[in-house]
DNA sequence: CCTACCGATCGGTAGG
DNA sequence: CCTACCGATCGGTAGG
């Protein structure tokens, strides 16, 4: 250690860190939003959490609404990667439908988001509002509903479910089991709710 | 109209209005909480809504947390009066269990709270917090779970449900249908979700 | 990306 | 119950 050496200042970010920075901000935002709510998420607290100044965040996102929209998009990507894509690895049909629900329960258990299901939390926050953020959340809800119905149709076409299965009704009921498990798990942190969810899904899909 | 008549000022509240005032404040608070969230509910906005000054509200409740606790209590009374008590008028057993769920769907449709189920909304807001408000909301959740299980036990004992019915599991699944109907209805204001809820309950309770 | 600032609103209090 | 006020924090902007 020569006397010429001085204490290094905080490492200067390279330009190429811009996108990585944006991504890590949005992941922190998605996590925080499940605790404070997507509306309760404040730019000041997010700045603190990410070690950035408030105006630094505004340089990235322009407004709170833009930040919220980007956060919903990021949460969607996380949900796809943690729940949907792993489920698509299961054999098509009834097995894949069960896998989707199981990966949903698993993502709760693994605390992918600290406050449970991002979309259940965000929907509760924005359900009575109007505007692009509500619309993005509603679209995610519809997407999951459609996915459940598609997987249900595959199972039905394979003869694994009754030929007269009402797919919208099936999706509604499975969605209810996901919501019930999320609510109970986040409120009580009791994995028993996840087991009840798994049992409910299997009973509903029994031949 | 004699010239002696003057425009009346806002009617002076009589002392006995105190309790009525408190009740109407709390009813407004419970309604507002399903829109802005129980935490997002601000004392300033509630003061505006009730035509009272902020410090007037503090004279009633002392702190925001006390207001939140009193609001949860009031929401509970409304839920009892609008959902639970009407259901208890139905014949004991399976019919009463269905009536409870139906009155839940009905209270959504009648917009008893403008933002849907108070407890679903409040739970989403407080599920990751700690303290007496979270505890009061969690207790309401447990109460409903126990009620569903009791009514399920009656139905089972009457032979209207299988003798080996898992009551906790039944309550979980019915609760899921209530939550699913609430989420979809509040997000999309589509009564189809309420019909799906009614069908789901009946299918689950079919002999 | 930063510092420094803006008006508005938050929960809450003093004093009546 | 009121007016008048407190410090803290909100979303957002100016200027660099």
- Does A187 contact B123 at a Cβ distance shorter than 8 Å? yes
- CA distance linking residue A174 with residue B77, whole number of Å: 31
- DSSP classification of residue A207: -
Nearest residue on chain B to A135, judged by CA atoms? Answer: B187
Q: Which of A127, A169, A186 sits opposite B186 (nearest CB)?
A: A127
Per-residue pLDDT averaged across B195-205, rounded? 98
Asked whether the predicted pLDDT for residue B35 surpasses 70, the reply is yes
- CA A56 to C1' D15, whole Å: 14
* Whole-number CA gyration radius for chain B: 21
| pLDDT (mean) for B70-86 | 98
- Whole-number Å distance between alpha carbons of A134 and A126: 5
pTM of the model: 0.92
**Strand C interface, A 9-38, C-beta < 7 A:** 13, 17-18, 21
Position B207 scores a pLDDT of 65
The DSSP string of chain A is --TT--PPPSPPPPTTHHHHHHHHHHHHHHHHHHHH-TTT--HHHHHHHHT--HHHHHHHHSSHHHHHHHHHHHHHHHHIIIIIHHHHTSPTTHHHHHHHHHHHHHHHHTTSSTTS-HHHHHHHHHTT--SHHHHHHHHHHHHHHHHHHHHHHHHHHTTSS-TT--HHHHHHHHHHHHHHHHHHHHHH--THHHHHHHHHHHHHT--
Indicate the pLDDT class of residue B20, thresholds 50, 70 and 90: confident
Is the CB of B40 less than 8 angstroms away from the CB of A35?
no
Q: Any atom of strand D under 7 A from CB of A60?
A: no
A114 in the Ramachandran plot: left (φ > 0), alpha (ψ -120 to 50) or beta?
alpha
- Residues of A near B (Cβ–Cβ under 8 Å) read 34-35, 37, 39-40, 114-116, 120-121, 123-125, 127-128, 134, 137-138, 141, 168-169, 172-173, 175-181, 183-184, 186-188, 193, 196-197, 199-200
Q: Please report, rounded to a whole number, the percentage of residues in chain B having pLDDT higher than 90.
A: 89
Mean pLDDT for the stretch of residues A184-196: 98
Nearest residue to C10, CA vs C1'? Answer: B42
Report the SS3 class of residue B121.
Answer: helix
List the structure tokens of B195. Answer: 């019909």
Q: What is the pLDDT of residue A13?
A: 46
pLDDT tens per residue across span A124-163: 999 999 999 999 999 999 999 999 999 999 999 999 999 9
Q: Are B173 and B158 in contact (CB under 8 A)?
A: no
Q: For residue A183, which residues of chain B lie inside 8 Å, CB to CB?
A: 120, 123-124, 127, 141, 179
Pick from B114, B183, B197: CB nearest A123:
B183
Res B12 pLDDT > 90: no
Nearest to B32 by CA among B137, B127, B125: B125
Whole-number pLDDT of residue A1: 38
**pLDDT score, position B7:** 39
Alpha-helical (H) ranges within chain B are 17-36, 43-50, 54-61, 64-79, 85-88, 94-109, 118-126, 132-157, 167-188, 192-204
The per-residue pLDDT for range A57-76, each reduced to its tens digit, is 999 999 999 999 999 999 99
pLDDT of residue B15: 44
pLDDT-derived band at A17 (thresholds 50, 70, 90) equals low
User: Does the C-beta of A48 come within 7 A of strand C?
Assistant: no
Measured to protein CB atoms, the chain D nucleotides within 7 Å are 1-5, 9-16
Token reading at B164: 């080996």
Q: Tell me, what's the pLDDT at B163?
A: 98
Place of tokens 């204001």: B189
Is the C-beta of residue A131 closer than 7 Å to nucleic acid chain D?
Answer: no
| B16 pLDDT higher than 60 | no
B119-176: pLDDT as tens digits: 999 999 999 999 999 999 999 999 999 999 999 999 999 999 999 999 999 999 999 9
- Residue range A74-132, pLDDT digits in tens: 999 999 999 999 999 999 999 999 999 999 999 999 999 999 999 999 999 999 999 99
pLDDT of residue B162: 98
Residue nearest D14 (alpha carbon to C1'): A55
Please give the share of chain A, as a percent, with pLDDT higher than 90: 89
């Amino acid at each position: 250690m020569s006397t010429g050496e001085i204490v290094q200042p905080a490492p200067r970010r390279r330009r190429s860190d811009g996108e990585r920075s944006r991504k890590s901000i949005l992941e922190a935002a998605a996590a925080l939003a499940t605790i404070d709510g997507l509306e309760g998420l404040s730019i000041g607290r997010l700045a603190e959490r990410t070690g950035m100044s408030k105006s630094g965040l505004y340089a990235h996102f322009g407004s709170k609404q833009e930040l919220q929209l980007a956060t919903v998009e990021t949460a969607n990507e996380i949900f796809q990667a943690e729940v949907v894509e792993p489920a698509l690895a299961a054999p098509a049909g009834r097995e894949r439908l069960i896998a989707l629900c199981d990966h949903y329960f698993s993502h709760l258990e693994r605390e992918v988001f600290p406050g449970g299901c991002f979309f259940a939390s965000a929907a509760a926050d924005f359900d009575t509002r109007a505007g692009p953020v509500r619309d993005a959340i509603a679209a995610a809800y519809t997407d999951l509903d459609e996915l459940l119905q598609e997987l249900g149709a595959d199972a039905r076409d394979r003869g694994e479910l009754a030929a007269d299965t009402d797919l919208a009704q099936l999706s509604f009921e499975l969605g209810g089991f996901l919501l019930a498990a999320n609510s109970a798990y986040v409120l009580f942190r009791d994995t028993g709710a996840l087991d009840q969810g798994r049992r409910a899904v299997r009973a509903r899909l029994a031949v």
